[in-house]
Chains A and B, each alone.
Chain A
């Protein structure tokens, strides 16, 4: 009988491995729940990209420049960077 090819053997390695898992099933379930919570809940509802929400695309540098200029302790108000 001819030796199966590399891809067939690689597929079988993973297929048999996943099928024969014991504690691994529980761990994969935990990983799946964790990834769901991280990407589908936390990222979507709690961690928006602040710069994307507060500055037009391509004007992030202007936004950050304004932020950094305004937060400094300058005795006389400095001329802030141009607004986006």
Chain B
């Protein structure tokens, strides 16, 4: 038996099901995080000025926050079910590394959010203004802290740190909580993800407010104008921060997941002075012939851009797909092994693991110690022992290439959009409607674009690390349970129906509440 004896369709269905669930869950999380900031700012305005308008405005956005929160709650739990059923090898292998952050997330989410959400909704006129304001901010903070722990778990899969594999228990054991919880990869991921969530909140608020202006609803005019102002300020700051944190994330990816960066850039052959691809004719539906093409056709690039992004130097060396497969010498003189060398070392690690366990079972301690040493020596390449062909190590380039460009493209558009909105508000201060109608329509159209950009970010993060569930340690084929594809396919379509129905219900309730407007 080897990896080919696992039904490939089962791997694909398990991946598709996880992707579907994660993408659906991620429709709710960013709006929760983003709206939390905006409603917090509005309630702070109420606290400081005492104007009833701000109270109505805060309550209106809190109502939409509540609808989104209620629809999103518990959708993430399904992912944990999938770990236990579809990804049992992986679940066991990651051990407590994954369990600890998820447990903290569950406790924080439950106690912090449930307590302060209740005060936020039920506490108007029943608790002091200060306590209510604190509860509103703490609701958002609780959700943000929850996101932190989830992203810590995800970051560990992208860049496993603070752990040691125990061949006795077959689990990775945490050696440093701080290394796991505050890994630079996790910090970058958190900052980029949360700032992108603020953008979604801001785009949503500006888009909904634009609809009120388009409808010329007098009762909601001030709400719309003030919401656009706050939304655009939050959105502009968040968009710029997302660009900065995105740049830092890419720098980190270049260091620990160079194949992902090469796929994002369709960089087949690396070198020094590498330019950053703006656009190129990469076929979105098929893997390019990276072995024989020098570079992607019709490439338009920014000179030195990728070297600066990946190494922070003008002439820095950036490896391409072929360099990573063939092996290369780094600028510091160290050698990156070829794919075949890594695969060989991976097989040695797996063989040593089996021999270690056999020696242990037969009570041969000396042999077990010797095999444990071999395992430790080759463990950094453990996952490569499951790779049959070097081409499996290259993620699907088109999806990484295009998803990255869609995300960055929309991110740039958001900066321009928010800047234009604020400019017009300032320039036409005296006018009751400073925005042209096309801009208001654009604001509405940008709502789905913000979600697409955010989901594209996840596509890059998750497709880019293929074939790994845990970078270099465990590929998807070894992580998945030996289950039939029909069972996973059935639940996939079950989820698809369930999620679609729930999304329709949410959009319906949300639209009704938006049409109703704030109860002034």
| Residues of A contacting B66 in the complex (Cβ-Cβ under 8 angstroms) | 23-24, 27
A23 touches B509 (CB 8 A): yes
A30→B170 contact, CB < 8 A: no
A20 (CB) vs chain B CBs: closest residue:
B122
Chain B hits for A24, CB < 8 A: 66, 121
Are A71 and B478 in touch, CB under 8 angstroms? yes
Give the 9 A-B residue pairs with the shortest CB-CB distance, closest first: A17-B122, A50-B88, A27-B70, A47-B81, A81-B357, A61-B170, A72-B350, A70-B1, A69-B354
Cα A48 to Cα B73 with chains together (Å): 22
| Contact status A26-B509, CB under 8 Å | yes
Distance A27 CA – B168 CA, assembled complex (angstroms): 48
- Point out which of A24, A50, A82 has the most chain B C-beta atoms below 10 A from its C-beta: A50
Chain A contacts for B490, CB-based, 8 A: 46
CB neighbours of A70 from chain B (8 A): 1-2, 5
Bound CA span A59–B190, Å? 37
> Are the C-beta atoms of A81 and B358 separated by less than 8 Å?
yes
Partner of B355, one of A46, A49, A79: A79
Residues of B within 8 A of A47 (CB): 81-82, 84-85, 491
Complex contacts, A9 vs chain B, CB 8 Å: 126
B351 to A78, Cβ gap below 8 A? Answer: yes
Q: Is B494 located at the chain interface by the 8 A CB criterion?
A: yes
Cβ contacts under 8 Å, A27 to chain B: 66-67, 70-71, 509
Check B513 for interface membership: any CB of A closer than 8 A.
yes
Complex contact B123–A13 (CB within 8 A): yes
Would you call A14 an interface residue if the criterion is a C-beta within 8 Å of the partner chain's C-beta atoms? yes
In chain A, what residue has the closest Cβ to B77? A38
Chain B interface size range? 35 or more
1/0 contact string of A26-40 vs chain B (CB within 8 Å): 111011001101100
Q: A16-B122, A26-B509, A38-B77 are in contact. Are A82 and B387 (CB under 8 A)?
A: no
Residues on B lying within 8 angstroms of A by beta carbon are 1-3, 5-6, 63, 66-67, 70-71, 73-75, 77-78, 81-82, 84-86, 88-89, 91-93, 118-119, 121-123, 126-127, 168-171, 343, 346-347, 350-351, 353-355, 357-358, 361, 385-388, 477-478, 481-483, 487, 490-491, 494, 498, 502, 505, 509, 513
Contact size class for A?
35 or more
Chain A residues with CB below 8 A from B85, complex form: 46-50
Given A50-B84, A81-B353, output 7 extra A-B contacts at Cβ < 8 Å.
Answer: A13-B123, A23-B509, A48-B84, A54-B88, A61-B169, A64-B89, A72-B346
- Residues of A contacting B: mostly: helix
With a cutoff of 8 Å between Cβ atoms, the chain B residues found around residue A49 in the complex are 84-85, 88
What is the distance, in angstroms, from A69's C-beta to the closest C-beta of chain B?
4
- Distance to closest chain A CB from B98 (angstroms): 14
Which of A18, A43, A79, A81 gathers most chain B CB within 10 Å?
A81
Query: How far is it, in angstroms, between the C-alpha of A64 and the C-alpha of B169 when the chains are bound?
Result: 10
Cβ < 8 Å to B, chain A residues 49-84: 49-51, 54, 60-62, 64-65, 67-75, 78-82
> Interface centre among B88, B119, B483, B491, by most A CB within 10 Å?
B88
Task: From the candidates B1, B71, B168, B354, name the one contacting A61 in the complex (CB within 8 A).
Answer: B168
